[in-house]
Amino acid sequence: MPQRQRLTERGFGARYALLGTSVAFCLAIVAPARAEDDVDPFSLSPEQLFDATVMSVSKKDETVATSPAAVFVLTNEDIKRSGATSIPEALRLVPGVQVARTGNAGWAISVRGFNNGLANKLLVLIDGREVYDALFSGVYWDIQDTPLADVERIEVIRGPGASLWGANAVNGVINVITKSAASTQGTLLSVTAGNEERDIVTGRFGAKTDNVSWRLYAKYFDRDAQETSQGTGAHDDWHALRGGFRADWDEDSSGNRFTLQGDVYSSDTAGIRSVPELTPPYAVTIQDDISARGGNVLARWTRDLDEGASLSVQAYVDLLSREQFSLDNDRSVFDIEAQYNLPSLGAHEIITGLHYRYSREELTASPIITFTNSTRDDQLISGFIQDKITLEPKRWFLTLGSKFEHNDYSGFEMQPSARLQWQGDGQMAWGAVSRAVRTPSMLEHNLNAVTGVIPPGVFPVPVSVELTPSPGFDSEELIAYELGYRRELTQGLQMDLAAFFNDYDKLATYTLAPSFVDSPPLHLVLPIVTTNDTKGETYGFELVLNWRAADNLNLSAAYSLLEIDLHGPPSDQAIASEAGEGQSPEQQFNLRALWDVTNKLAFDTTLYYVDALPSLGIDSYWRYDTRLGWHVADGVELELVGQDLFDDAHPEFGGTQIQRSIYARMTWRS
């Protein structure tokens, strides 16, 4: 994008801030009295580690204390008091989750290893809508920008969730759940300004008409560019605009509830990239402009039936258009699923469901990426059943279940799970054995990408190194073994420990294929195909301690250990595994303090440690974030937040230097 245009767009932030302020004050004139809204930021929630609600483990509401899985919940209060301005940044708090910023608008996020910018063994949902991209079975984190003020909680399952959620829920599930429209009544305006977060403006208005609660929101942000490892500008400044709505119909006399919600967004960023060429100088550096446009609409109907039974049906449409130098793609998704919770059958609690998805991907070639088919239509059909069996009331429970699905890449897949749990006074132990698969994506089966050109030297002509289509690539497989223990050690002090051993088979491997000569110009092609020739094991544990030291002080600590051991073919046959050893930190921990100094003043701090990434040349680093919040008046709050205060800048994943960020935020509610 031309520099003049970018400089002009930087002024948009101030314009949106002025516009947002004007709109908010106009809305305030007609706004009704505020209903129950966001958590009071100056009163610590009575919920502790075990008390939070979670539905991702069993597809029904339960507490963390009774969930037989390694689950962690970030509440709205946790997110707010972390100082995070995006969902990826909030996930840094979760043990066992690897979060590394690859650039201004990019993150590498995974659970229990295999991290990279195209991480594909993690399922991410927002209000039940899967946001992974079929092109690479991963997530474009730059477009998952739900306003954090509207997020009720983020549920994170470490370990397989495939028996309920299906393929790609291999190492974990992240489920972002937004607030109901009834809990976001009135007007909210939030304005943020800082050295990196140049402008963030969020406006929201909610009201109730007859039996319908509804809200509208809009968000704009403008983020400053980062720097390269050489200290030059990365040219990745980023701005985005987003808006949406949600409407919830009250439960009627027959037990029916209905929700309709949707979002539209646009995002523009850029970056510096090296483009291989077959003529001198064999690589050029360009500014790669990245533009994303999209939207979604979701509808959900639920009906409560007799004897505790319920039926729900959810459907959504999701559209995306993404343009960048390497590849343009347009994606359309239609998804529908139904879930039936059977009436109580003595010792059995049975849940079952059906799911159908249709997706269409349309691709436009570039000088470095081509494909065998420019358009691909895929269908996914699946069903699941789960039975929670009470072996001894209030003590022993056994949960058995499996997902059965058919996809157009690997055919039929079955992903079963068995979980045994024991509950005692103030404690719970559990163990699980699960199977999960990561199905192939369009990237492996359909795309040809030039990854580099070797100038003439050893060979008299240039050598083009190309990742080629691999239609024989099959699903990656995992058998996971997990143990967990939760206990309230003393009043107010809670511990959550989870250990795991993951046995992987048929992992993606970049394997050399026979070379050949091509033209024009005359050059040698060195093809690399994706095969299933790597096996491996990962093992480790995560420990969380949470202590309510006083009514106005909460302290927590989280530690995770991860070991990865992969076994691939000899180096003369394979280049590497897809995301192997040395790309995920072996050790991580964070220490956190939330302190309500007075009923008007809050002080929150978090100290992080992230281990080195040897294969990427990234050193270990410490990160210190702090937040000071001041309740100025009724409905008005000021915050001062500092992030990465220990370093001016440091790399987290790749060559981009992530810089220290300091910002101020004002939030007004009525």
Residue 188 — very low, low, confident or very high, per pLDDT cuts 50/70/90?
Answer: very high
Other beta carbons within 10 angstroms of residue 272's beta carbon come to 17
Report the pLDDT value the prediction gives residue 344, as an integer from 0 to 100.
Answer: 86
Low-confidence winner among 24-38, 44-58, 407-421, 590-604 (lowest mean pLDDT): 24-38
Q: Is 462 exposed, middle or buried (0-12, 13-18, 19+ CB in 10 A)?
A: buried
Amino acid in the structure at residue 360: R
**What does the alpha-carbon distance between residue 162 and residue 439 come to, in Å, rounded to a whole number?**
12
Report the pLDDT value the prediction gives residue 230, as an integer from 0 to 100.
Answer: 82
The single-letter DSSP state of residue 346 is T
| Among the listed residues 111, 153, 121, the one whose alpha carbon sits nearest the alpha carbon of residue 498 | 111
Report the pLDDT value the prediction gives residue 21, as an integer from 0 to 100.
Answer: 33
Amino acid in the structure at residue 429: A
Q: Is the pLDDT of residue 1 over 60?
A: no
Q: Is the pLDDT of residue 23 over 60?
A: no
Tens digits of residue pLDDT in 249-279: 999 988 999 999 999 999 999 989 999 999 9
Report the pLDDT value the prediction gives residue 134, as an integer from 0 to 100.
Answer: 84
- Backbone torsion region of residue 380, taken as left when φ is above 0, otherwise alpha when ψ lies between -120 and 50, otherwise beta: beta
Beta bridge partners of 178: 151
**What does the alpha-carbon distance between residue 157 and residue 124 come to, in Å, rounded to a whole number?**
10
Low-confidence winner among 147-156, 230-239, 611-620 (lowest mean pLDDT): 230-239
**What does the alpha-carbon distance between residue 394 and residue 386 come to, in Å, rounded to a whole number?**
19
Tens digits of residue pLDDT in 503-517: 999 999 999 999 999
Q: Where are the alpha helices (DSSP H) in 421-534?
A: 442-446
The torsion of the CA quartet 226, 228, 231, 235, rounded to 10 degrees, works out to -50
Report the pLDDT value the prediction gives residue 107, as an integer from 0 to 100.
Answer: 95
- Backbone torsion region of residue 59, taken as left when φ is above 0, otherwise alpha when ψ lies between -120 and 50, otherwise beta: left
Greatest distance between any 2 Cα atoms in the chain? 81
How wide is the angle at C-alpha 94 spanned by C-alphas 90 and 96, nearest 5°?
Answer: 135
Mean pLDDT in the chain? 91
Q: Is the pLDDT of residue 133 over 80?
A: yes
Average of per-residue pLDDT across 82-102: 96
Report the pLDDT value the prediction gives residue 575, as an integer from 0 to 100.
Answer: 72
Q: Are 485 and 429 in contact (CB under 8 A)?
A: yes
How wide is the angle at C-alpha 149 spanned by C-alphas 146 and 150, nearest 5°?
Answer: 60
**What does the alpha-carbon distance between residue 79 and residue 151 come to, in Å, rounded to a whole number?**
9
Query: Which residues does 365 contact at the CB level (< 8 Å), separation at least 6?
Result: 327, 371, 374
Q: Is the pLDDT of residue 35 over 50?
A: no
Other beta carbons within 10 angstroms of residue 297's beta carbon come to 17
Q: Are 98 and 588 in contact (CB under 8 A)?
A: yes
For the entire predicted model, the pTM comes to 0.92
Residue 6 — very low, low, confident or very high, per pLDDT cuts 50/70/90?
Answer: very low
Q: Are 307 and 343 in contact (CB under 8 A)?
A: yes
- Main-chain dihedrals φ then ψ at residue 639, nearest 5 degrees: -135, 145
Q: How many CA atoms lie within 13 A of 209 on its CB side?
A: 4
Tens digits of residue pLDDT in 37-77: 444 444 566 567 888 999 999 999 999 999 999 999 999 99
Tens digits of residue pLDDT in 281-292: 999 999 999 999
The single-letter DSSP state of residue 571 is T
Beta bridge partners of 594: 554, 604
**What does the alpha-carbon distance between residue 258 and residue 572 come to, in Å, rounded to a whole number?**
58
The single-letter DSSP state of residue 64 is G
How many structural domains are present in the chain? Answer: 1
Residue 204 — very low, low, confident or very high, per pLDDT cuts 50/70/90?
Answer: very high
Question: What is the token pair recorded at 95?
Answer: 């043990």
Report the pLDDT value the prediction gives residue 43, as an integer from 0 to 100.
Answer: 55
Question: What is the token pair recorded at 200?
Answer: 């963030």
- Main-chain dihedrals φ then ψ at residue 133, nearest 5 degrees: -100, 125
Rounded to an integer, what is the distance from CA 219 to the centroid of its chain?
19
- The CA–CA distances, whole Å, from 386 to 128, 175, 339, 352, 412 equal 18, 19, 11, 6, 19
Query: Which residues does 658 contact at the CB level (< 8 Å), separation at least 6?
Result: 101, 226, 644, 649, 650, 651, 652
Rounded to an integer, what is the distance from CA 432 to the centroid of its chain?
24
Q: Is the pLDDT of residue 388 over 80?
A: yes
Stated as kind and residue range, the H or E segment containing 559 is strand 553-567
Q: Are 160 and 435 in contact (CB under 8 A)?
A: yes
Q: Is the pLDDT of residue 618 over 90?
A: yes
Residues belonging to the chain: 670
CATH of the domain at 450: 2.40.170.20
Average of per-residue pLDDT across 17-37: 36
Beta bridge partners of 249: 212, 258
- Spell out the long-range contacts of 632-641 with Cβ–Cβ below 8 A and sequence spacing 24 or more: 635/34, 635/668, 635/669, 635/670, 636/666, 636/667, 636/668, 636/669, 637/41, 637/666, 637/667, 637/668, 638/664, 638/665, 638/666, 639/83, 639/664, 639/665, 639/666, 639/667, 640/664, 641/83, 641/194, 641/665
Q: Is the pLDDT of residue 577 over 80?
A: no
Q: Is the pLDDT of residue 410 over 80?
A: yes
Question: What is the token pair recorded at 518?
Answer: 């091509």
Q: Which residue has the higher pLDDT, 1 or 638?
A: 638
Other beta carbons within 10 angstroms of residue 344's beta carbon come to 12
Rounded to an integer, what is the distance from CA 370 to the centroid of its chain?
28
- The CA–CA distances, whole Å, from 222 to 11, 79, 225, 573, 638 equal 9, 21, 10, 46, 20
Q: Which residue has the higher pLDDT, 36 or 562?
A: 562
Q: How many CA atoms lie within 13 A of 280 on its CB side?
A: 2
Tens digits of residue pLDDT in 422-450: 999 999 999 999 999 999 999 999 999 99
Beta bridge partners of 70: 158
**What does the alpha-carbon distance between residue 445 and residue 313 come to, in Å, rounded to a whole number?**
33
Average of per-residue pLDDT across 522-545: 95
Beta bridge partners of 246: 215, 261
Question: What is the token pair recorded at 581?
Answer: 């050893």
Report the pLDDT value the prediction gives residue 654, as an integer from 0 to 100.
Answer: 84
Low-confidence winner among 231-235, 236-240, 260-264, 365-369 (lowest mean pLDDT): 231-235
- Tell the residue number behind the tokens 């943020």, with chain if given: 192
Average of per-residue pLDDT across 13-38: 36
Domain containing 63 equals 3-669
Low-confidence winner among 6-20, 359-373, 524-538 (lowest mean pLDDT): 6-20
Report the pLDDT value the prediction gives residue 47, as an integer from 0 to 100.
Answer: 60
Report the pLDDT value the prediction gives residue 234, as an integer from 0 to 100.
Answer: 87
Question: What is the token pair recorded at 154?
Answer: 């983020």
Beta bridge partners of 213: 208, 248
